[in-house]
Structure 1
Amino acid sequence: PIAHFDLSPCSLTVCGHHSAQYWPAYNAADQSPAQVPWKGTQIAYYFVTVTSATGFTVPTDQPASDIKAFVSQAKANGVKPVFSLGGWSGSIHFSSLVDSGTKRASLASKVQAFMTKWGFEGVDLDWEYPNGVGIGCNAVNKDDSAHLLSFLKVLRQKLGTSKLITAAVSTEGFAGPDGSPLASFAEYGKYLDYVNLMTYDIAGSWSPTTGPNAPLRKCKSDSSVQTAVKLWTGRGFPAAKVLLGIPAYAISFTTSSSTLKEIEVSGGKWRSKAYQAWDGVVPKGAPGDSNAPYTDECGTKTAAKDGSKGLNGYTRYYDDCAQTPFLFNPSKKHYISYDDAQSARVKTSYAMREGLGGVCVSLFACFFLSLDGGV
């Protein structure tokens, strides 16, 4: 399955903005580099390489042939290939790799060598998160954000100005020693070409209720596109260097009731059915998904999930406050939050009005939705 959002009538390229997309190399069996929809994209991220105790590695299930094909296909289509370093499960060692001048210089050299070896035009630092535990077992230092800034200075000096340095960043910004967002992000803008604002995963298995994956407005969610953009630009990061994240994947819940309850949100400005009580069971997604319990990178064991696939009986709803759609199947009590062409166009228009640099779609390979009664 291939993600494609038609953002006509004014494409980002025509309007002088940028479009970037992540290609999940671990899903190459479902979507090869030759199947990637390159049109309209200026930057493509090879996702992901993961941190190690001494640097970073390519996971064993991502063969070298895929790297070669990705870089070759990107360049053949006039797209800059960039590799992404870190990720949710790959940021465990990030903190310890940049906590001294010697280590920062070593990591910068390894990044440059990897780019030269494979022909990448830049690197994307997907540290999740500086001074944050992320997956749960990351190395953490209260001075992580300061160390990141020092590393960016070294890396920019090493790579020069012709190569891209970007970062996938949290809606909460870079955390200071006390855990709160730094007072200013302006200094980071001197060394980063762009930040890819991760305005998604706002709701998930940790949420007390169902909710939109990537709400435009906060409504009843913990964060939103608008609050994240306001934080980053309000603290001095150049708006023109912010790429707004748009998810090309879905999140799902099993609700407690087969009936959707409507509530008031945003102080009564809107009424919403997006926020429902749920029973803690995440429905199975793609046919190849496994429901077997597994142990993650931190050694945490997860519970088995609901084994049903969900085919028919879904109804599409569009939430006016969050400006995102969701699907609901009352018989299965399955709730699926996602973005489609309508919500992507709303977010793109917002990015342009706010003077942002463009959008970044995560990920290339995701899902295909048929809204004629099935999923």
Structure 2
Amino acid sequence: MFGKLSHALNRSPSHNKHTHAESNPHGEGITGVYFSNWSIYERNHFPTDIDWQWVNHLYYAFLSIDTNTGSVSFSDTWADVEVPLPSPLDPSKKVHGLVAQLRQIKQLHPQLKIMFSIGGWGYDHTFEAITHDARKLDTFASQCAKLVIEHGFDGVDIDWEYPKTAAQGQLYCRLLETLREKFCEISPSLLITAAVPGSEEYIRHLDVKRMDNSLDYWNVMCYDFTGYSWSQKTGFHSNLFGANGDTDLCADVALKSYGSRGVAANKLMLGMPLYGRKFGGVEVPGIGQSFDKQKFSDEGIIEYAKLPLNHSKEVFDPRKVGAYCYDPTTKTLVTYDNVDSAKVKAVQVSSRGLAGGFYWDSAGDKHGELIRTFSEMLRHSNSTSTH
């Protein structure tokens, strides 16, 4: 089953001039997670809530871009650099802002890599705007380097969702190359990652081979494969294998796509969700069933911490590697990753020689349950495979 995939993913591309700084920290693989700066409000979630013994890469989301100048800045200055927070080094003292708190956490956990994540959903136009102007692009790269060095972080994560044409894909390459050149002038050890699509609809617009020369890791977003606002049938939104509701999307296909384009296995990160996708008006529980698009006024998203739903039974599909629960009283079905998903995906990451996995986003976990399960199983699997 995995013969062709293994061959594709484990090739070491000769065109890649940039050698990434690390591929397997401490031999345990990477467990990464995105932290969103808006988590401190309604969700009341802070970096100190994360169990750092299980996480070695943190992506701080999101920084924003000034399309007039190319300058990079904090998107919420109160949360990022002003709000008084307990000092992780001395709880009797305060630090100002999440960035300062994370910097102290990094001092307590030297293995931790922290990245500024720039962009996010709906901000693709900001990237396109600056890549058309060499002066703006140089300002962007210089600002990225300045912020990383100033705050003691380890690099940046580019979250351009998504280039919609081949021309935009070339602009993406230009941005990454400018950034890599600037980083190399300062410190070759600074990391550049990118959160990239898991659907061929968008992957086809990327010049993957050219991008690979500048990237340390590819954070492949293997989630949101289905959703009530665009799908016609219920489906797993983060399945590892197989056809899915009314699409053929799955993580296996996404990873194959990047591997077949020359990305080495140890640069690929498997993306996983800490939230579920809801479908309302489901009369018959299961995948590939009809639902009512008018049942939700929200985004149809629910945090993993609130799953499974009340009055529901959780079902795990070991073939697709996905879970769902169904509440017969409200006729609501939710698809998501559960503990079993985390275990299987960790084993797959290890057996395929991938760099690791990451989750979006930290506030959605239930007492760190999925992150801990994935990280623990990944360490165990990697340890077993080396003996």
> TM-score, normalised on structure 1?
0.76
- Contact 1:123/1:165 (<8 A) preserved: yes
> What is the deviation of 1:186?
2.4
Deviations 1:220-263 (A, max 9, x none): 33411100000000011121100111111111111341x32xxx
Q: Does 1:314 align with 2:312?
A: yes
Distance change >3 Å, CA 326–CA 208, structure 1 → 2: same
CA–CA distance in structure 1, aligned partners of residues 238 and 308 of structure 2: 22
Deviations 1:189-228 (A, max 9, x none): 2211101000001111211112111011132334111000
Identify the residue that residue 72 of structure 1 maps to in structure 2: 104
Q: Does 1:167 align with 2:194?
A: yes
Q: Does 1:38 align with 2:71?
A: no
Q: 3-state SS of the aligned residue for 2:243?
A: coil
Q: Does 1:83 align with 2:116?
A: yes
Q: Which amino acid aligns with 2:226?
A: A
Q: Which amino acid aligns with 2:72?
A: F
Q: Which amino acid aligns with 1:334?
A: T
Q: Which runs of 5+ in 2 are unaligned?
A: 1-23, 82-96, 368-387
- Contact 2:277/2:302 (<8 A) preserved: no
Distance change >3 Å, CA 248–CA 256, structure 1 → 2: closer
> How do 1:152-191 residues align onto structure 2 when only pairs under 5 Å count?
152-160=176-184, 161-172=188-199, 180-182=204-206, 185-191=208-214
> What is the deviation of 1:117?
2.8
Q: Which amino acid aligns with 2:292?
A: D
> What is the deviation of 1:93?
1.1
Q: Which amino acid aligns with 2:108?
A: A
More deviation in 12-21 or 194-203? 12-21
Identify the residue that residue 373 of structure 1 maps to in structure 2: none
> What is the deviation of 1:181?
4.2
Identify the residue that residue 272 of structure 2 maps to in structure 1: 246
Identify the residue that residue 331 of structure 1 maps to in structure 2: 329
CA–CA distance in structure 1, aligned partners of residues 355 and 132 of structure 2: 31
Identify the residue that residue 162 of structure 2 maps to in structure 1: 129
> What is the deviation of 1:13?
6.1
Q: Percent of aligned pairs with the same residue?
A: 26
Deviations 1:257-314 (A, max 9, x none): 1x32xxxxxxxxxxxx222211112376669xxxxxxxxxxxxxxxxxxxxx996211
Q: Does 1:148 align with 2:181?
A: no
More deviation in 71-80 or 17-26? 71-80
> How do 1:185-334 residues align onto structure 2 when only pairs under 5 Å count?
185-204=208-227, 205-220=229-244, 221-257=247-283, 259-260=284-285, 273-280=286-293, 281-282=295-296, 312-334=310-332
Distance change >3 Å, CA 274–CA 251, structure 1 → 2: same
- Contact 1:145/1:174 (<8 A) preserved: no
CA–CA distance in structure 1, aligned partners of residues 261 and 205 of structure 2: 9
CA–CA distance in structure 2, aligned partners of residues 173 and 150 of structure 1: 21
CA–CA distance in structure 1, aligned partners of residues 102 and 200 of structure 2: 30
Q: 3-state SS of the aligned residue for 2:363?
A: coil
Q: 3-state SS of the aligned residue for 2:60?
A: strand
Identify the residue that residue 370 of structure 2 maps to in structure 1: none
More deviation in 107-116 or 311-320? 311-320
> What is the deviation of 1:172?
3.4
Identify the residue that residue 17 of structure 1 maps to in structure 2: 29
- Contact 2:278/2:302 (<8 A) preserved: no
Deviations 1:93-129 (A, max 9, x none): 1111112333321210111122233222100000001
Q: Does 1:108 align with 2:141?
A: yes
Distance change >3 Å, CA 222–CA 311, structure 1 → 2: closer
More deviation in 164-173 or 226-235? 164-173
Distance change >3 Å, CA 147–CA 336, structure 1 → 2: same
Paired residues in the alignment total: 311
Identify the residue that residue 4 of structure 1 maps to in structure 2: none
Distance change >3 Å, CA 207–CA 112, structure 1 → 2: same
RMSD over aligned CA atoms reads 2.5
> What is the deviation of 1:367?
4.4
> What is the deviation of 1:329?
0.4
CA–CA distance in structure 1, aligned partners of residues 113 and 162 of structure 2: 25
CA–CA distance in structure 1, aligned partners of residues 297 and 289 of structure 2: 15
CA–CA distance in structure 2, aligned partners of residues 19 and 129 of structure 1: 24
> What is the deviation of 1:320?
3.6
CA–CA distance in structure 1, aligned partners of residues 65 and 360 of structure 2: 20
Identify the residue that residue 306 of structure 1 maps to in structure 2: none
Q: Which amino acid aligns with 1:62?
A: A
More deviation in 143-152 or 167-176? 167-176
- Contact 1:19/1:41 (<8 A) preserved: yes
